[in-house]
């Protein structure tokens, strides 16, 4: 049965923005003479900006204060964000759900400026679109607060809701919020207990009752 609401993670789930996040992370680190390991992005994917900064500070010796660090990363990110595209198959699913009357929202661990820039790039930045950024909650994912805030904004019971996620961090938040969670990773990895694992857009459609 098609759910009453679907809450989408943004980066990597609805929009193919994780490669740009990785390039921006690398560019900012190299600007201060730090060469990151090849698996760094995979280790921090789905996390909000401050926890990532704390990893860089504690494990790699990043000496910048948080505000200076994030300004360097976002300077690179924002200059390239207008060229972002949706993830393959995601926008078609979004459109089919919209046509069936399903309420949809964006729930992201990214800061507000990144959320707005990404949604503009794919044509979803509109007044009716409900969006929750990391700036809108006290605790980011994996805490359930972002998804519970979306439930409060839409007025739809979590039991009638599906969460769409590509990261273990985000999927854990959806499960903790008591929502049916579809884990649709970019690469084949295990999801958290309680999440449905999708290996393709076709699997996502089947889980959502769109086939």
Across the chain, mean pLDDT equals 96
Helix (H) or strand (E) holding 81: none
pTM of the model: 0.93
Q: Is the pLDDT of residue 1 over 90?
A: no
Summarised one tens digit per residue, pLDDT across range 99-120 is 999 999 999 999 999 999 999 9
Give the per-residue SS3 of 110-152.
CCHHHHHHHHHHCCCCCCCCEEECHHHCCCCCCCCHHHHHHHH
Task: Tell me the chain's radius of gyration from C-alpha atoms.
Answer: 17
Torsion 191-174-132-205 (CA) sign? positive
| Residue range 24-75, pLDDT digits in tens | 999 999 999 999 999 998 889 889 899 999 999 999 999 999 999 999 999 9
Mean pLDDT, residues 143-162 taken together: 97
Instruction: Decide if 167 contacts 21 (C-beta within 8 A).
Output: no
Kindly tell me if the per-residue pLDDT of 147 is higher than 90.
yes
Q: How confident is the model at residue 87 (pLDDT cuts 50, 70, 90)?
A: very high
Residue 211's pLDDT band (cuts 50, 70, 90): confident
Q: What would the mean pLDDT of 141-145 be, rounded to a whole number?
A: 98
* Residue 161, strand partner residues: 5
User: Quick check: 126 pLDDT over 90?
Assistant: no
CB 169 within 8 A of CB 146: no
């Amino acid at each position: 049965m098609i759910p009453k609401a679907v809450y989408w993670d943004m980066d990597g789930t609805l929009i193919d923005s994780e490669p740009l996040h990785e390039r921006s992370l690398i560019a900012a680190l190299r600007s201060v003479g730090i060469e990151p390991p090849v698996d760094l992005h995979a280790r921090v994917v789905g996390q909000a900006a401050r926890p990532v900064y704390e990893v860089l500070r504690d494990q790699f010796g990043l000496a910048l204060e948080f505000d200076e660090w994030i300004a360097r990363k976002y300077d690179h990110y924002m200059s390239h964000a207008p060229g972002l595209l949706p993830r393959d198959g995601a926008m078609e699913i979004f459109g089919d759900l919209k046509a069936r009357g399903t309420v949809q929202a964006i729930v992201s661990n990214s800061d507000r400026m990144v959320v707005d820039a990404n949604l503009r790039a794919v044509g979803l930045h509109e007044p009716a679109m409900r969006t929750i950024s990391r700036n809108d909650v006290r605790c980011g994912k994996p805490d359930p607060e972002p998804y519970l805030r979306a439930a409060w904004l839409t007025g739809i019971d979590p039991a009638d809701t599906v969460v769409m996620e590509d990261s273990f961090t985000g999927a854990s938040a959806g499960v903790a919020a008591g929502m049916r969670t579809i884990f649709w990773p970019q690469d084949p990895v295990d999801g958290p207990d309680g999440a449905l694992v999708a290996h393709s857009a076709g699997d996502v459609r089947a889980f959502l009752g769109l086939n």
